[in-house]
Structure 1
Amino acid sequence: MEQKSRQQQQVSSLNRAVLKMTPIAAGCAVMFALSSGNVYAQQAEAPKAAAQEQAPDTVVVTGIRRGIEAAISLKKNSTSIVEAISAEDIGKLPDSSVAESISRLPGVTSQRSRSSGKSADISIRGLAPSFNGSLLNGREQASTGNARAPEFDLFPAELMGSVLIYKTPDASLVGQGLAATIDLNTLKPLDFGKQVISAAYRKQRTGVKTSSEGSGDRYSFSYVDQFADRTIGLALGFTKFKEDGGAQQRFNTWGGWSPEVDYQGKKVKTIGGFGADTETSKSDRDGASVTLQFKPNKDFKSTVDMFYSAGSNSLKKTGLEGAIAGSAGGYDPDGVLSNATIDSNGVATAGTFSNYKGVVRNHKESAKDKFTSIGWNTELKLDDWKLKTDLSYSKAKKDASRYETTAGQPGNAASLGSISYTGFNGGNFNDVKYTTSLNYGDRNVALLTDVNGWGGGVNSPQAGYVALPTVNDKVNSFRIAASHEVSWGPIVNTHFGLNYNDREKIRAGQEGRLVVKGANGYASATVPGSAVGTAGTTGLPIVSFDPEGSLGPIYSLAQWVDASVLAKDWSVREKVTTAYAMGDLDGDLGGVPYRGNVGVQFVNTDQFSTGAQVDLAFCTGITAATCPSKVVGAGTTYSNILPSTNVSFELGNEQFIRLGLAKVLSRANMDDMRASQQFGVTTQGNNPILTGSGGNPNLKPFLAKALDVSYEKYFGNKGYFSFAGFYKSLDTYIYRAPTTFDYKPFVSANTPLPLTGAYKGSTVGLLTAPRNGEGGKISGFEMSLNIPLNMVSSYLDGFGVMVNHSDTNSQITLPGFGFSNITVSSANIPLPGLSKKVSNLRLYYEKDGFQFAWAARKRSDFLGQVSDYQDNMQLTMVKGETLVDLQASYEFKTGYLKGLSLLIQANNWNNTPFQEYNTDPNVITNKVTYGRTYLFGANYKF
């Protein structure tokens, strides 16, 4: 509850700075409004701040500078090390999404969505998104994914007033993360001085410079007002967004597979196979925010806030895949090379392979989600005591579907086609030119059927697959807190609080094979419609159709129930009780004044998980009858003590040294805590072995000791320079590792065991599951400069620059087993999310109503997180990238158009692709080109 109060005060500061529109008032309003907060100046400074705020000769600041100066005021007056962004105006963050705005801050970067190319997952100080704590108005929230925090696209930028990032926590910050804590804040109406109404519209073009463009529309409306002599405040916000994405072309090299084949009595290197897709997406989202405040006097305030977001999205993949030199299934014979050109390195740079059995893919992934958050916060002052309570509830639900269909020649086809290629040098898979003897855009050639026998053969046909997962998540929270002014040496205020979180997350679903209706396993059907698509970057024509609705008319469903499918269903219940005590510091050390806080959290966790367990001694098939299972459950209880200290020394001339010491934690993703497990036999390679995987219901959090030091020099509220260093010593971390395990209790007489190698006939194998490891270090530094250039020369009036750079080192390497997207040679992988170097640059000009901005963000290679074809999160190496964004606008200052502003924005101006690789960054295994995104729009405020 104490944290909630602190958060409300901080948002109050930002919004007041925005509405007063003066650099002096912005900083002073922060100090005045937050005089009782643990991260701001004490009450003795309030009269001075109030006097400055009312000064009549202040300079009006608008637009980009308005948001910058409000954020600088917050950073400057904080005792913790924080970063912030503030809306340039009501309903107007600096970028079109929350994630893009955050990613421009020092030490912060984002991973683009594999499907849309938009900023999605946020990494701070080289750590993966799961290391962040994420809050909405100071509270933990439910989520629709496997991770704990909600996806950022659930929160439209138009409904956010500010975003705060705490790089150092204090004891009252509940829900903190190991890397940082991100707090999204909606508007509070009593922080505004008058009624404000704003409306905006954006027209969007996506996929510019690709084979097919998309379009979109964004609408937003905000209303803020005060009633009954400013004792009642109301804030309303609504958004609507709809987008049809452009065509994105992908090419997958099957991990850079380049086998050696026989050709004219010699071994030559050639292409093994590929997958090439053209993807189109659709999405829409409606959002609403309502805040009602009641403050009848200075001693009582009650706030109810509600946030709602609902949307849907779909991704249609139309592509071609198939083995060229080898085999991809039981119906797919090895190709034979002919007409080849061989270079001096033994590489077949061109050639033709017979027996090519291309598979046309028409896949569609769809999801509908709904997120609701409600909170009620009350503050009461009794003499020298402040009492606070906070009740909150959030719920998230996601219903998803994944349809996969295959088309081509049936399994018993008598005559197969061929494929030819040119321009191969041994590693440039993406540049090779392909031609096929058969036209896969012809519906007489490409039939809906089981092309390769992937389901097991004619008796178990699989002409496609469907999965229908559902996620439900609920969080109930209660907080009570009290603070009291004291005079205990340097401690001037005490804070006590108790927070209780009860969370339950459930994942369930059905899935199975799609079987073409017919007399036998070789049955086929004509692809509906007449549409013809393109197979990614290859340019090859392929049949195209929407598979939704095909279950019934074309396909029947053979539900798949086995250990791997059942292991995906789970539930996790988590009860976390946090008690804290904290004191505010205000003193003098050797003539140097300081402010800060010192405190401790006691965190008790009670977690319990359920999941499916299959006894393979009785599992002989893939149906509920032939593979029975039971629900198992397990859990644990543990406690953590988290001390923290923040001290800000004021050196004079607006210079500060900030010091943060803390023990921090980040909890595991909830799917890692599932009780379910599954296993099978790995028969590939020279040493086959039984292997299994699952969750760990006894999993404990990441824990680390953190030291942060920051030097900051401010130039009023106009600009600043900062240099910060950080060091984290990990006590525990979570990793996946195989350990020896005897599967004898789960093996039946019919279970195939390894036939060769060291484990021939053995039931002993490896079980891969999340585990807690020990030790490791992360360190780095950050530099940031944010100034208007008229400080350098009056000739540069209106120009400004924001530049920051971070460099992070990690001495942690994790076992790389259990991640299908990584080729592991040394059995070690870097820490997920770690880019060693991250840089941001933003140049802008703002004067006489005109605004221009050029921004670039760059990050080095990193280990990213993606969702695989089975809806599991996997790790993959992502190539470093530089993204360039442009923005221009004009605001009418006078006349009948006063209050109207026009905007044009271009994202990914340099059309940077998303690229993945395994071990060699020069050998790209997956490449996606998104094109540019243009936004044209108008804002009107009155």
Structure 2
Amino acid sequence: MFKPSPVAAGCAVFLSVLGANVQAQDAVQALDANGNPISQVTVTGIRRGIEAAISIKKNSNSIVEAISAEDIGKLPDATVAESVSRLPGVTTQRDARTGRAASISVRGMSPDFNGTLLNGREQASASDSRGVRFDLYPAEMLGTITVYKSLDATLMGQGIASTIDQRTVLPLDFARRTVAASYRAQRTGAHNEDLGSASGYRTSLAYIDQFANRTVGVALGVVKFNDNGPEQINDDGWGGTTGTATYNGQAVTVPNGLRTDVIHNPNTNKGMMGILQYRPSKDFLTTIDLFHSKNTDSPKRTGFEGSTCGSTGGYDPVGVLSNANIVDGVAVSGTCSNFKGDIRNNTEVAVDTLNSWGINSRLRRGDWTFTGDVSGSRVRHDFTRYETTAGLVGNTPNADLDSISWTGFDGRSNLSALYKTALSYTDRSRMLLTDVDGWGGGLTGTQQSGYVAIGATIDEIKAARFSVRHDVELGPLTGIEFGLNRTNRTKSRDTDEGSLLIGTGPYGAASMPGNETVVTRQSGIPVASWNPLGSLGSIYHQLAKVDQVIQTDKNWHISEQVSTAYVMGSLEGELFGLPYRGNAGAQYIHTNQGSTGLIVDNGRCAGVAGQACPAYTIAGHHSYNDFLPSLNLNVELPADQVLRLGIGKTLSRPNMSDMRPGGGVGLDATNPAGPILAGGSGNPKLEPFRAKSFDLSYEKYFEANGAKGYVALAGFYKKLDTYILRAPQRVDYASTGFLVSGIPLPATGPNAGSTVGILTTPSNGSGGNIKGLELTASLPFAMLTRYLGGFGVEASYSSTLSSVTLPRSGITVISNGNINAIPLPGLSHTVTNMRVYYEKAGFRASIAARKRGDFVGDIHDYKDDASLTYIKGNTTVDGQLTYDFGDTTMLKGLSLTAAVNNWTNSPYIRYNGDPSSVVENVRFGRTYSLGASYKF
């Protein structure tokens, strides 16, 4: 475990990087590099946020996009992800459970390709990957968010797509004591067909003050969010493929099955922030900051599913089609006998706890500035999942089974039909908790009346940094900075899961507690409902599942030590008579990674619940070096125009779960070419994605009638030198350590007696390219005529293309289509954002729309495993209206706000390779909110 040395800690208390990157937050005179006040014109509301962001973009030496708070605790949206998604080339993936934007994709790349910082420090993540969940960072606690699209040698934890730096407020940037409080009541899930909506609230309090003649500053903030959880519907297309049945001697197309769920997802978030600053003189600044956030999701899912005419298990007989209306070979309506419907009542509880801290200082002596930082970031993800089934017991005679009828089937989508059953699925005397279909293996297997999984993922980062900057006058070189950074990161996952059993024997059953019922919307069939949380021990007992996937994929420990030395020179001068500024630098990075996992002996287990597979601990280790040069050059053209160039080399590190060493191998007797050894594993020698990056941006800034705006056109090209592919490859298992005792070798065929087989593992391969164009405009209409003062528009359009495709083999893609390759995850070809606003006489109004195209998204499936899936593009529309009472009334400092989110009830749709083949359709409804804020 990394522990800062006394010397490093002493330097950190004495030195800091943070003080060099503060952003002005209130009606205060910000300080220049020498601590002297800078004159400012106070701008409020929407224009304040826009103009602060424009200023960040214009004055940066890198190619950046920025979002700035309109006031204390007032980013444009409730979540960081939604605010950032307004920027060009940036889009979000919504959480299928809540509809909220949680992860960010930049320039067509998945969230794992972003580096995410808080106050300049790398942040831990809650999932197996490195992608950060931005709903852990309440927007009320942040002042600015800057997205670096070009490289900067002084930034640690950069990503190939971007580096996203979130900044909190700093108390010594404020001219006086400031207290801001807000409360907002909201209703979620409104106008979502006839589903029930839910109430909730969001409240925040910020206190900022200065003491001891402004040498000490304090900022404290708390945020609390609570949503009781509206009803949502999830219509699953049963894999998207239709089925066949025999009718009058001919094969006809029938619905393959149905699954429909009603979801209720309460959600809470509590956040706290504390910042202490000490500045006894203009040459010395120390900042200590603490950030805590805890997010709890508790989705409860009640649903109904079943195979209409086929079978899903040993207790589920094949149905017989009758009373069918056949049109062009399609059973538009009909009835199938021997139907066994499953009532599903599933409950999950996911708790993500983030703690981030830092101590940093800055000391200036003449032309020398010494900076340093020690910090930590830790996220713990606790997960509990109960899945239960109820229905007819496995030994129910066929004569007593149900039948299912349908009408309106179009022959293409299982979601097109309307269903009706003969039995009542609210009758608790017949619908028992049991293994309805024999999913545990039937009479020859093990009872599985449900499933439980309990696990935790812990990610922890500790870092120390020291740097020195010297101001010089040496030709175009105006300053040089060099420094060292050390980051230690550990991540582990531990999981315990298995089948839920009732009593003994294959037909164990118990009555379902309670008397609640739910109508499953797509089928229209009422079913019995209950919450199984905590039922382990009272109704069920657990039979641990200890097969290879559980032991190797969900139990591992990764450690990573990254040492970085960097140097960067600040540039300023003239080029062909035009002034320019920028920087040139490089990072030299040494990475040392280690991991432990398990090797599973598949030869001595059956891979089913309760039958243990012997496992052995294995360790892996690897180290490598990278040299990452970078250059940013900004040429100032006449008429307030800027031409920016950014080139360099960067990397994005692999998912930490892919770096595990564990795995297993078994005999694959189903291989078409004959029996062969086959297995899967992680790769402890995995190295990063690496890319060369080229950025070119043209920006034109305007100022007229007291309003500021700009237009920009940017192009980028990224050459991926290395990529990470999860694909099968031929290996000699005798040299892998996986071929433990008990695993038989092929006895027949071309591989008879051979230890050579197929191993599916992540590995580094050759890359491709990503390229795109981004067009942005921020235009207050007052620049055209003062009669349109108060009106304005922000708009952006981006188009991204990539030559990168991933082989379908070896990748978990939730799709049954005949697809051999998938596009780059996270890539939408087009992304469009627009926000129209009006601000005058205390009124502020805005309407914003965000649109993205279809893409392959990274989700966690029902087993809490990361999987890729096709997600249909969507457009979300939000609106907001605020009235500020101003400084001249008795209600000075008070503002009232009404807002609506997801105005058009944009759904979350997953499909099966073909957009017309829908496998999941979730609708969230609108969210209305009404609130007040007060600042004094």
Q: TM-score, normalised by structure 2?
A: 0.94
Aligned 8 A contact 1:14 1:74 in 2:
no
State the one-letter code of the partner of 1:780.
G
Which segment is superposed worse, 542-551 or 622-631? 622-631
- Structure-2 change in CA distance of 1:494 and 1:108 (3 Å): same
Q: Match of 2:115?
A: 133
1:724 aligns with one of 698, 714, 717 = 714
1 CA distance for matches of 2:603 and 2:262?
Answer: 44
Aligned partner of 2:6 in structure 1 is none
Instruction: Tell me, yes or no, if the aligned pair for 1:277 and 1:534 is still in contact at 8 Å.
Output: no
CA distance in 1, matches of 2:606, 2:732: 20
Q: Does 1:121 align with 2:113?
A: no
Distance 1:653 1:466, change over 3 A: same
AA paired with 1:67? G
Distance, in Å, in 1 between the alignment partners of 2:624 and 2:492 is 22
Seen in structure 2, the aligned counterparts of structure 1 residues 696 and 910 have a Cα distance that, compared at 3 Å, is same
Shift of the 204–623 alpha-carbon distance from structure 1 to 2, 3 Å rule, reads: same
Aligned to 1:775: 767
Superposition map of 1:157-236 within 5 A:
157-210=139-192, 211-236=195-220
User: Aligned partners of 1:456, 1:742: CA distance in 2, in Å?
Assistant: 33
Structure 1 partner of 2:420: 435
1:593 corresponds in structure 2 to 579
- Alpha-carbon offset, residue 860 of structure 1: 0.6
Could you say if the C-alpha distance between residues 353 and 73 of structure 1 is closer, same or farther in structure 2, counting changes exceeding 3 Å? Answer: same
Query: 2:8 matched to which residue of 1?
Result: none
Structure 2 counterparts to residues 673-684 of structure 1, below 5 A = 673-679=659-665
1-side partners of 2:740 and 2:647: how far apart? Answer: 55
Q: Is the 1:87–1:160 contact (alpha carbons within 8 Å) kept by the matching residues of 2? A: yes
Q: 1:904 aligns with which of 881, 898, 911?
A: 898
Amino acid at match of 1:541: P
Specify the alignment match of 1:941 in structure 2. 935
1:27-67 Cα deviation digits (max 9, x unpaired): xx5xx63x58xxxxxxxxx99x94x53xxxx5x42111111
Secondary structure at 2:298's aligned position in 1? strand
**Aligned-partner Cα distance in 2 for 1:156–1:457:** 49
Q: Aligned pairs, how many?
A: 910
Distance 1:196 1:728 in 2: 45
Does the 8 Å contact 1:616/1:746 carry over to 2?
no
Question: Match of 1:617, SS?
Answer: helix
CA distance in 1, matches of 2:220, 2:79: 19
- SS of the residue corresponding to residue 55 of structure 2 reads helix
1:666-707 CA-partner distances (Å, limit 9, x unpaired):
011111111121456778897787643221111111100000
For residues 738 and 317 of structure 2, the distance between their equivalents in structure 1, rounded to whole angstroms, comes to 35
* Identity rate, percent: 48
What are the Cα deviations for residues 889-925 of structure 1, in whole angstroms up to 9, with x where unaligned? 1111132211111111111100011001122111111
Deviation by residue 1:643-682 (Cα, 9 ceiling, x = unmatched): 0000100002110000000101101111111112145677
Amino acid at match of 1:13: Q
1:36-51 equivalences under 5 Å are: 50=38
The alpha carbon displacement at 1:794 in A equals 2.4
**Cα distance change of structure 1 residues 799 and 682 upon mapping to structure 2, 3 Å threshold:** farther
Stretch of structure 1 that moved more, 580-589 or 822-831: 822-831
Deviation at 1:445, TM superposition (A): 2.6
Instruction: Please tell me whether the aligned partners of residues 57 and 63 of structure 2 are also in contact (alpha carbons under 8 angstroms).
Output: yes
Counterparts of 1:467-866 in structure 2 under 5 Å? 467-517=453-503, 519-567=504-552, 568-620=554-606, 626-679=612-665, 691-716=678-703, 718-741=708-731, 765-817=757-809, 818-823=811-816, 825-866=818-859
Residues 258 and 415 in structure 2, CA contact (< 8 A), matched pair in contact too: no
TM-aligned CA deviation for residue 757 of structure 1:
9.8
- For residues 245-324 of structure 1, the aligned pairs below 5 Å read 245-324=229-308
Encode CA deviations 1:598-631: one digit per residue, 9 max, x unaligned.
0000011000111111122333565788422111
Shift of 1:839: 0.1
Is the 8 Å Cα contact of residues 141 and 149 (structure 1) preserved in structure 2? no
1:373 and 2:356 correspond = yes
Distance 1:82 1:799, change over 3 A: same
C-alpha contact (below 8 Å) 2:189/2:925 kept by paired residues: yes
Contact 1:276 1:321 in 2 (8 A): yes
What SS class does the counterpart of residue 220 from structure 1 fall into? Answer: strand
SS in 2 for 1:255: helix
Task: Give deviations 1:500-546, integer Å, cap 9, x for gaps.
Answer: 001111110211110012x4220111110000012242221111000
CA distance in 1, matches of 2:929, 2:300: 24
Q: How many Å separate the matches in 1 of 2:134 and 2:506?
A: 45
Distance in 1, Cα, partners of 2:376 & 2:781: 46
Report if the CA contact (8 A) 1:368-1:399 is conserved: yes
**C-alpha distance in 1 between matches for 2:258 and 2:816:** 17
The residue that corresponds to 1:93 in the other structure is 75
Structure 1 residues 811 and 149: CA distance shift in structure 2, 3 A = closer
Aligned: 1:386 with 2:369: yes
Checking the alignment, whether the CA contact within 8 Å between 1:418 and 1:437 is kept in structure 2 is yes
Compared CA separation, residues 681 and 364, structure 1 to 2 (3 A): farther
Unaligned stretches of 5+ in structure 2? 1-10
Displacement of 1:760 in angstroms is: 9.7
Contact kept? 1:257, 1:273, Cα under 8 Å: no
In 1, the alpha carbon distance for the partners of 2:327 and 2:753 equals 45
Residue-by-residue CA offset, 1:349-408 (whole Å, 9 max, x unaligned) = 111111111111101111223211110001111221111110111222122101000101
Q: Secondary structure at the match of 2:378?
A: strand
- The secondary structure found in structure 2 opposite 1:74 is helix
Distance 1:758 1:335 in 2: 41
**Gap change, CA 1:932 and 1:147, over 3 Å in 2:** same
In structure 2, relative to structure 1, the CA distance for the partners of 1:822 and 1:885 (3 Å cut) is same
> Once superposed, what is the RMSD of the aligned Cα atoms?
2.3
3-state DSSP class of the match of 2:93? strand
CA distance in 1, matches of 2:20, 2:740: 64
Q: What are the superposed Cα offsets for residues 530-567 of structure 1, whole Å, 9 maximum, x if unpaired?
A: 00012242221111000012111111111111111101
Matched, 1:361 2:344: yes
Question: For 1:318 and 1:762, how far apart are their aligned partners in 2?
Answer: 49
Match of 2:332 in 1: 349
Per the alignment, residue 240 of structure 1 pairs with 224
**Structure 1 residues 779 and 162 mapped into 2: Cα distance closer, same or farther (>3 Å)?**
same
- SS state at 2:442 partner: coil
- In structure 2, relative to structure 1, the CA distance for the partners of 1:245 and 1:672 (3 Å cut) is same
Pick which of 866-875 and 252-261 moved more.
Answer: 252-261
Q: Distance in 2 between matches of 1:209 and 1:162?
A: 34
| Matching residue of 2:3 | none
**Secondary structure at the residue paired with 2:160?**
coil
Q: TM-score, normalised by structure 1?
A: 0.93
Equivalent positions of 1:57-72 (< 5 A) are 58=41, 60-72=42-54
Give, in whole Å, the separation in 1 of the partners of 2:525 and 2:748.
42
